Structure 1
Amino acid sequence: MAEILVIHTGGTIGMVSGAEGLVPAAGVVEQALAAMAPRDLEITVEAFDPLVDSAEMGPAHWNRIIDLIAGFRGRGVIVTHGTDTMAFTGAALTQALAGIGLPVVLCGAMQPLRMGGDAEGNLALALDAATTAAAGVWLAFAGRVMPAAGLVKHDSQGDDAFRSVPQEPVTAPFGPRRFAPARLAILTLSPGLPAAMIGAALAELDGAVLRVFGAGTVMTNPALEQVLAEAVARGCRIRAVSQCETGGLVPGAYAAGAPLWRAGVTNGGTETAEAALARLWLDLSEPAMALGYSPQG
C-alpha cells in the first residue's frame, strides 16, 4: 500500500462561508480525502493549527513544510495551500528541496470544497500526481500538473489561474535547506520613480529582487546607479529580473542596462521574481545555518 503525506496549510480549498466571507475550517480537507482517496492509498494528514491564509505564508511556514517533508519516507507528498502566494511557496520548496527523491505536489483551488467548483478536481489530480509524478515539486491545478519552480498566478478569479515559466534546473544532492530570518523584498522600477525611494527601501533590506525593464534596462539617472552601488557596497544583495514574464535578462544588449552591472547587481536571467527571492533568501541563510542557527516553524 502506497503512503502519502498531506500537509494542509489552509487556503480557499478548505474554507467555508462565514459572516464576513470565506474562512478556514478544520476537517474540510480531511473529509474530502477520506471520500475520494483510492483504497490502496494510506494517507497521513498534518494540518496547520491554526490554518493559514496564504497571504500570511512566509519563511517560517516554508521551514515547517520542509521539516515535515524531510522526515517522510513514503511515496509522495501533497501540500494544500492558498493560491495568492502559491508561486512564492512553489519557488521556495523547489529550491530548498532540490534533489528530493519523491514528488511534492502543491494543490489549491479558486473555490472551496463542497461548493461545486474546482477544488475536488484539483485534489483528485494531486492524489494521482503524488503517486505517479516524477520526483520534484509540482502544482496540480486546472487539469494540469506543472513544475512549481516558476509559477505565475495570472488570473485572480478564473479556475485556470496558473501557468509555469520554465526555470533553470537546480541540481544538487538532496539536503533540505531552510530559511533564516532576513529582510528581503521585491522592488519594481517604473518611469519617473525617484532614486531616493529605492535608496530608502534598500537601506532597510539585506537583499532585494529588482524588477527592471525588458531585457535589462533602467532609466538614465546617476542617482539610481549611486544608491544601487552604495547598497551593494554595504553588503545588500541585489538580483535583477525582468518585468516581462518570459525571455529574461541579457546583460550588454542595451547600454541602458550598464548601470545595473557597474553597480554590482547580479543577473537573475530567466528567473521569476519569486524564484529570485527564494534564491536570495536561501543564499543569505547559509551563513546563519553554518553558525548553528536552527529555524523554528
Structure 2
Amino acid sequence: MEDELQGYRGPARDLLQRAGVHVGDEVELALADGGAISGTLMPRYEHADDEHVAVKLRNGYNAGVAVSRISSVHVLGRARPEPTAAAQQVRRVKGDVIIIGTGGTIASRIDYRTGAVTPIFRPEDLYSRVPGLGEIANLETELLFNILSENMTPEHWAAIAERVGRAISEGYRGVVITHGTDTMHYTAAALSFALEGLPVPVVLVGAQRSSDRPSSDASSNLKGAVLAASRGDFSGVYVAMHRNLSDREIAIHRGVKVRKNHTSRRDAFESVNSRLAAVVDLSSMEVRKLTDLPPRGDPRSLKVKPRFDRRAFLLKYFPGMDGGVIDGLVDAGYRALILEGTGLGHVGAQVHGSIRRAVEKGVFVGMTSQCIWGSVRMTVYDTGRDLMRAGVVPLGDMLPEVALVKAMWLLGQGAGAEEMRSLMPSNMRGEISERRYIEDVRE
C-alpha cells in the first residue's frame, strides 16, 4: 500500500498525521507568527530532513515550511481520486481536446526515493495535478508512448501524425501533444509537413522543469497549450512554452519557425525570422493572435502523409572539414544533404569537389546558415555563386532542422532529385519567410 505521507518522518510526519492529511491534499498551514500558507501537500525525498513540510503554491512554486513555524494544519480539499471507468467514458464522449502523451520532462516526476527525475508521469496524472485544467475544456488523455525526446525517430513522428489524424476524424476540436523539449521543434516540423490541410490547432508542449520541481513551468505551459487548442480560432501546428520568465504569458510559436535556444530557461523557445503566432494570457485565459493565421477548417480536408525517409543528413560545416565526409555520406546511400554553412551560405573550397560529385550522383544538396537569424544569400560572394553553379540549392531562412525534416518528408513521398530541387526551396508550410520580413522581425 502506498504511503500517504511519502518521505515524511519525525516531527513533520507527526504533525501531518495529527491533522489527518495526505500527500496531494490541499492544505492551509497556519503560522505561529500570524498568517498562513496554502497549497498542495507534496511528498519529500527519502533522505530529506524531518523538520519541514513541503507544499506546492498556486503559482506553481514549491515552498518548504519549518515545523517550528506551523501552529496548525487544516485540510482545504482532498486529493483528487483517479477517475472511475464511468467518468472516463463521459470524458471520452464529451471531450473536445485530446492530450496525447509522448514523454519528456512535462510527463516526468521526481522519484522521491532517489531524487531523480523519471519519465513515468501518465497524461492522467497531469490532468489531475494541474489545478483548473479541466475547467478550460473537456479533456481526454492518451499515452501514445513514453520516451525521452532524444530517442524520437521519424517512425515516432509518423505514429504521432497518424494518431492526430484519427483524433481529428473522431471529432476533437484541438490536439495537445506533451513532448520532451530537446527535439520538440523537430517533431513540430514533421507534423507540419505530414498533416496537410490541418483543420484544427495541434499544439506541442513541454517543460524545462518537472511538475514536482520548484518554479516548474509544466502546469502553466500545459494550461496555455489546452487554451490554444480549445479556444484558438486558428489551425496548424504550434509549440507552446513560456514567453518570458514570468508565469503570466505562454508563447504560441509556428511549428516550422521555432527553435530551442537555451538549455534550461523557461523561455528557451523562440520564433526565428517570424513573429509569435499568438500569446495565451493565463490571467485572463485569453488567446490573442499576433499575426494572420489559417482559420479552422473542415475536418474532411485533412490528408495525413506520415512517411519519412531517413536518407537525409544535416551536416554542419567547420573550418578545415574534409570532403571525404561528404563522399562517405553519398557512398552510404544518402539522397539529400542539408549543409549548415557559414554566414550567407558558404563552405570551404576544399569540399566543393565532393559537393559537385554528390550532385552528379543525384543527391539533393541544400544550403542553410549556421546563423540563427537572417537568410542564406548565395549570390553576394563568389563562393556562394560557385556553389550554386555546382548545384547547391539555397533554402532562404529555413531553419536547418526544418530543412532536414522537410527533406526526409519529401523523400518519403517519393520525390526524386529534380522534384527536390523544385520543392525544397518552395514555401509549403510557412517555413520560408520573405526577405524584407526577416530583416524586420527580430525584437
Bin the TM-score by the shorter chain.
0.7 to 0.9
1:281 alignment partner in structure 2: 408
Residues 1:266 and 1:180: Cα distance change in structure 2 (over 3 Å): same
Aligned to 2:183: 85
Partner of 2:375: 248
Q: Deviation at 1:114? A: 2.8
Q: 1:81: Cα distance to partner?
A: 0.2
Counterpart among 142, 163, 172 of residue 270 in structure 2: 163
Point out where structure 2 has 5 or more consecutive residues left out of the alignment.
1-93, 243-249, 275-291, 295-300, 416-443
Alignment partner for residue 120 of structure 2, among 25, 32, 35? 25
2:220 is aligned to 121
> Which string of whole-angstrom CA distances, capped at 9 and with x for unpartnered residues, describes residues 111-155 of structure 1?
112323111110111111111221011111012112121211111
DSSP 3-state at the match of 1:111: coil
Counterpart of 1:213 in structure 2: which amino acid? Answer: T
Q: Paired residue for 1:218?
A: 347
Code of the aligned partner of 2:218: A
Change (3 A) 1:198 1:136: same
Query: Does residue 344 of structure 2 align to residue 237 of structure 1?
Result: no
Counterpart position of 1:10: 103
What amino acid is the match of 1:96? A
Aligned to 1:264: 391
The question of 1:111 aligning with 2:111 is answered no
Q: How far is 1:218 from its partner?
A: 2.1
- TM-score, normalization: structure 2? 0.60
2:319 match: secondary structure: coil
- In 1: Cα distance, 2:125 partner to 2:185 partner: 27
Once the two structures are TM-superposed, the CA of residue 37 in structure 1 deviates from its matched residue by 2.4
**Contact 2:165-2:302 within 8 A present in 1 as well:** no
1:37 aligns with 2:133: yes
Work out the CA distance in 2 between the residues paired with 1:203 and 1:22: 42
2:150 maps to 1:55: yes
Number of the residue aligned with 1:46? 142
Determine the C-alpha separation between the residues in 2 that align with 1:23 and 1:235.
Answer: 45
Counterpart Cα distance in 2 of 1:21 and 1:202: 42
Does residue 280 of structure 2 align to residue 186 of structure 1? Answer: no
**Shift of residue 180, structure 1, vs aligned partner:** 3.3
Name which of structure 1's ranges 75-84 and 261-270 shifts more when overlaid on structure 2. 261-270
Give the Cα–Cα distance (whole angstroms) in 1 for the partners of residues 364 and 139 of structure 2: 42
SS in 2 for 1:282: helix
Q: In the alignment, what sits opposite 1:294?
A: none
Which amino acid is 1:31 matched to? D
SS of 1:113 mapped into structure 2: coil
Q: How many pairs does the alignment contain?
A: 282
> Which residue of the partner structure matches residue 95 of structure 1?
193
Q: Cα distance, 1:39 vs. partner?
A: 4.0
| Cα separation, 2, equivalents of 1:26 and 1:86 | 18
Q: Is the 8 A contact 2:257 2:399 kept in 1?
A: yes
Higher relative contact order, chain-length normalized (CA < 8 Å, sep 6+): 1
Opposite residue 36 of structure 1, the aligned amino acid is: G
Measured in 1, the distance between the counterparts of 2:192 and 2:390 equals 30
**Contact 2:104–2:181 (CA<8 Å) still a contact in 1?**
yes
Match of 2:70 in 1: none
Shift of 1:20: 8.2
Aligned to 2:14: none
- The answer on whether the counterparts of 1:90 and 1:150 sit within 8 Å (CA) in structure 2 is no
Displacement of 1:220: 2.5
SS of equivalent residue, structure 1 residue 126:
helix
21 and 237 in structure 1: CA distance in 2 versus 1, 3 angstrom threshold = farther
- Structure-2 separation of matches of 1:55 and 1:14: 15
Shift of 1:40: 6.6
Cα RMSD, aligned residues only = 2.2
Amino acid at match of 2:127: L
Unmatched tracts of structure 1, length 5 or more: 289-297
One-letter amino acid of the counterpart of residue 366, structure 2? R
Aligned equivalent of 2:328:
200
- The Cα of 1:157 is off from its aligned counterpart by 1.1
Identity of matched residues, %: 30
Larger mean Cα displacement after TM superposition, 119-128 or 16-25: 16-25
* Residue of structure 1 in register with 2:289 after alignment: none
CA distance 1:239–1:174, change in 2 (3 Å) = farther
Q: 1:15 to 1:145 in 2, by over 3 A?
A: same
Question: Which structure is larger by alpha-carbon Rg, 1 or 2?
Answer: 2
Paired residue secondary structure (2:138): strand
Comparing 199-208 with 254-263, which one deviates more in the overlay? Answer: 199-208
